[in-house]
Structure 1
Amino acid sequence: MSKLQKIGIIGSGIQGVSNALFLQKKGFDVTIFDRDEPGSPAASYGNAGHFSPYASLSLNRTDILLDVPAMLMSSSGPLALKWNYVPKMIPWFVKFLLNTSKSKMMHTAKNMHQILDLALPAYDEIFDEIDDLDGLVENKGILYIWNDKDLKSRELEIKVREELGVEQQLVNKHEIHDLEPHIRPFYHAGVFYPYARHARNPKKILLKFFDLFMKKGGKFNKLNIKDIEFDGDKPTFISEAQRFVFDKAVIACGAFSKKLTDNLGEKIPLDTERGYHVHFKNCDHLLSRPVIFQNRGFGVTPMEQGLRVVGTVEFGGLDNPLSKSRIKNLINNAKYMFGDLPDHEDEWLGFRPTLPDFLPVMGPSKKYKNVFYCFGHHHLGWTLGPISGKIVSGMIAEENTNLNLNPYSSSRFS
């Protein structure tokens, strides 16, 4: 294979940049396209900042359906709908329901575990090439807490993770207090994942990755790629006024990938879970590590910008405006956890690209062997960026792998 194969990547978030870095290691000439600057306020900027290698159990669970009506009715709950979007969501929800059986739940959990297990080493491969991380990654674990209303689903989670061999420590009230003394004692128990990490500023980490990519001879074009056409079997990117021909292409633009895959004639049921964050400035001293309160489905991460409060799953597509009620929900939840806090800053809305079986799509397009997909990582896009980039770059280089990659193929939807 000639070393100068040209690869075009659409998307400059953690997936796109990670793909680019691993492709460069294999000797490819890589160009990234994005309609925004890298580090723009998209999902790789606004996420919870968790490196969560334990998070193999997703939302397609046998027990979650019973909870959905109560979640939707509760203003403090983790779930919301934009009612104008419901008709569009129905086909996705039907597919989601079909993925909540025990066997489908375990299929997802096993295949998430397979890649999550490799997630931190893949990050470390990139971190090893960066001169100074400036304290941007902290290795202090991640803590989940709950009150006793919610024990049933916690038991399921703990049991499945135990079966998969996930390292977890059950913690009682006193141990939670010792770990995080500033949280109000509303909790009854929790789980601590000691080897998990968190980002002090996801945007800065992403930009360090991007700078490394540019230093190694990468190219970036700030252009909106509207379509992909083919020159023979070579993918050609079409923007407003220009065309760019590549040997191979990677679509890695998260929730926005569907417009392109639809144009390629492949109906992948990608939709979005809208997530929110706010910051409480100068309050990051209140926590040592990320804490997730599971009954209300929100989390708080200590970051450079302050305490970042993240969460809620809102089904409402890409075009609906930000919901003030969801912002209010986060503020109320943060105050429930800490008592008094100053005024919040930075109301942010982002889009988690989610497929109904809660597995990502990684691999070649069904119809075009030179177009590769890397999207649909739902709540785990940040954790899975480098390992996904490593896997897809290996496919492009036609390397053998001992991983079973069939579960991530887009052909599962046809």
Structure 2
Amino acid sequence: MSIVVVGGGVVGLACALDLRRAGADVLLIDEGAGPSASWGNAGHIAIEQVEPIASMKALRSAPTRWFPRGGALDFRFADILSWGGWAGRYVQACAPDAFDHGKAALGALLADAIPAWRRLAAAAGRPDLLSERGHIVVWESLASAEKGRAAWGAADIGQARTRDLRGVELLEVASRLAVAPAGGLRFENSGQISDPGLALRTLRDAFVALGGTIRSARVTALRLEGGRAVVALDDGEAPRADQIVLAAGVGSGRLMRGLGHVAPIVAERGYHIEGEVLEGDGRAWGDLPPVVFEDRSMIVTRFGDRLRAASFVEFARQDSPADPRKWARLHRHVGALGLPMAASRSQWMGARPTLPDYLPAIGVSRRASNLIYAFGHQHLGLTLAATTGEIVTALAGGGAAAVDLAPFDLDRFAPGAARRAKEIAA
């Protein structure tokens, strides 16, 4: 069986490697347009993020999280045509019944995220890619600590567990900072990828070592011929295959719309800064797991000899210029906290592929019999990459996925889909 996988991010690579291990003849098409969200993320395996961001809680809190007021949420109003329609769908997805439906769906998908990453890392020959030391959340005032603990206590966090940071543990975190935290939580059962860039290289190398083929090209369109999808490349070629897997992040929306699918995906952009870890200054970072500074909406992760600080949820066109104010704020946070990060730092901006209900799209196209899609993983692309790869391999082999894929069917966005769902439920 021959398969073309479109998309060279972590989801596409996980799919390609798993398909190749299952014996398929796999061609991976990677546009190679630069470091993507797969590379620039915080490395956090976020199994605690069971509750979709499409919620009444998130909607009500949006004004307090707006960037001009010090928060991480921002909208590029010059790009409103790219996200305005999406925002209307998002508001609808925040309805309590839709939220409950989404939470159950995400919970089922996240349940196997850590075991699936163990299997994927082992298959790639690098089990050390996955670290299972949990993560830490801290607050800088007693008021925010009290509020934060209550919020997490009331949240559904799936298989993750929390406990208060007390005594020695809290002092250990405080010793790394110029600002001592007023309180914190230790999350257990979550994990970290040791280095997202290394993970991408490792998956690519393992795929090639197994006989997989990678081609650098841009997919200009998916065409429908005789009820089947055909890939069109920018060099005029159209590689044929028994099946096509679409895992092209934000670009998946354009390609699916070309087949007549409704795919309301948006670029939800994040930013990071990164610098060498400073040792021996009295506040060395050591081997702390990822630390979330909730008051600043920032997560800090160590990757080898470098420290990365990441934040922001910015709605804009994928190719709009980066906003330097975001990086400037990250630099200020790093300075205010006294993080041991060298002054020479790199800066990155990338787009998370996000659908209005904050659920990914995973399934088989009803318009093209040979097309499997797997995109729209929002903040959970790294977290769910291994699980998604296994699901796609099962679908490609004609089998059933380990979870119910109905909530992730892209046709949930088709005209009249909501009405039909209510009629079925009644």
Q: What is the TM-score when the length of structure 1 is the normalising length?
A: 0.91
For 1:406 and 1:113, locate their aligned partners in 2 and report how far apart those are by CA, in whole Å.
14
Counterpart of 1:8 in structure 2 is 4
Quick check: 1:350 aligned with 2:350?
yes
Deviations along 1:310-337, one digit per CA (max 9) or x if unpaired, are: 1111111212101100101111122232
- Measure the CA separation in 2 of the matches of 1:108 and 1:173: 38
SS in structure 2 at match of 1:131: coil
Output the aligned Cα RMSD. Answer: 2.2
- Match status 1:227 vs 2:221: yes
Structure 1: which amino acid aligns with 2:320? N
Tell which deviates more after alignment, 86-95 or 239-248: 86-95
Residue 112 of structure 1 aligns with which residue? 106
How far does residue 185 in structure 1 lie from its aligned partner after superposition? 4.1
- Say whether 1:200 aligns with 2:189: no
**What is the CA-CA distance between 1:180 and the residue it aligns to?**
5.5
Residues 165-215 of structure 1, C-alpha deviations (whole Å, 9 max, x = no match) = 532223357643335531344533332222222223211111111111111
Q: Report whether the alignment pairs 1:263 with 2:258.
A: yes
CA deviation after TM superposition for structure 1 residue 354, in Å = 0.6
Alignment of 1:318-357 (within 5 A): 318-338=318-338, 341-357=341-357
Contact residue 275 and residue 350 of structure 1 kept, 8 A: yes
Q: State whether structure 2 residue 23 is matched by structure 1 residue 30.
A: no
Change beyond 3 A, Cα 1:245–1:339? closer
Alpha carbons of 1:305 and 1:320: their partners in 2 closer, same or farther (altered >3 Å)?
farther
Q: Which residue of 1 aligns with 2:423?
A: none
CA distance in 2 between counterparts of 1:128 and 1:317 reads: 37
User: Residues 364 and 373 of structure 1 are in contact (CA less than 8 Å); yes or no, is this contact kept in structure 2?
Assistant: yes
* Residue in 2 that maps onto 1:76: 70
For 1:390, the equivalent position in structure 2 comes to: 390
1:121-270 to 2 correspondences below 5 Å: 121-132=115-126, 135-146=128-139, 147=141, 148-149=143-144, 151-152=146-147, 155-161=150-156, 164-172=158-166, 175-179=169-173, 181-240=175-234, 241-270=236-265
- The reply on whether 1:281 has 2:280 as its aligned counterpart is no
TM-score between both structures, scaled by the size of structure 2: 0.89
After superposition, the Cα gap between the structure-2 partners of 1:194 and 1:91, relative to the gap in structure 1 and judged at 3 Å, is same
Cα drift, residue 341 of structure 1: 4.9
**Gapped runs of 5+ residues in structure 1?**
none
Farther-moved stretch of structure 1 (93-102 vs 353-362)? 93-102
Amino acid at match of 2:187: Y
* Native 8 Å contact 1:172 1:188 kept in 2: no
Q: Which amino acid aligns with 2:2?
A: K
**Percent of aligned pairs with the same residue?**
25
Q: Secondary structure at the match of 1:343?
A: strand
Give the counterpart of 2:39 among 25, 39, 45: 45
CA contact (8 A) 1:270 1:353 kept: yes
CA distance in 2, matches of 1:86, 1:235: 31
Distance 2:355 2:49 in 1: 16
Distance apart, 1:126 and its partner CA: 1.9
SS state of the match for residue 65, structure 2? Answer: helix
SS of equivalent residue, structure 2 residue 62: helix
SS across alignment from 2:218: coil
Question: 1:154/1:407 Cα in 2 relative to 1: closer, same or farther (>3 Å)?
Answer: farther
Cα displacement (A) at 1:139: 3.0
Paired amino acid for 2:156: R
Give the Cα separation in 2 of the matches to 1:43 and 1:61: 23
**Match 2:267 to one of 264, 272, 281:** 272
User: Is the contact made by 1:76 and 1:329 (CA closer than 8 Å) also made in structure 2?
Assistant: no
Question: How far, CA to CA, are the matches of 1:358 and 1:21 in structure 2?
Answer: 26
Matched, 1:90 2:89: no
Q: What SS class does the counterpart of residue 309 from structure 2 fall into? A: strand
The number of equivalent residue pairs is 406
2: CA distance, partners of 1:166 / 1:138: 15
How far apart, CA to CA, are the structure 2 residues paired with 1:23 and 1:180? 46
Q: Measure the CA separation in 1 of the matches of 2:301 and 2:220.
A: 36
User: For the residues of structure 1 that align with 2:148 and 2:410, how far apart are their CA atoms?
Assistant: 30
- Residues 46, 380 of structure 2: 8 Å contact kept: yes
Shift of 1:230: 3.8
CA distance in 2, matches of 1:93, 1:369: 31
CA distance in 2 between partners of 1:298 and 1:102 (Å): 28
Code of the residue aligned with 1:205 in structure 2: it is: A
Structure 1 counterpart SS, 2:156: helix
With over 3 angstroms needed to count, the CA separation of the structure-2 counterparts of 1:395 and 1:182, relative to structure 1, is same
Shift of 1:391: 0.9
What residue identity is the alignment partner of 1:307? L
Query: Is this contact kept in 1: 2:222–2:256, CA < 8 A?
Result: no
Distance 1:58 1:170 in 2: 24
**Matched residues in 2 for 1:151 and 1:317: separation?**
37
- Answer yes or no: is the 8 Å Cα contact 2:43–2:382 preserved in 1: yes
Classify 1:262/1:180 alpha carbon distance in 2 versus 1 (closer, same or farther; 3 Å).
farther
Q: Is 2:221–2:233's contact at 8 Å kept on the other side of the alignment?
A: yes
Instruction: Point out the more displaced range, 180-189 or 265-274.
Output: 180-189
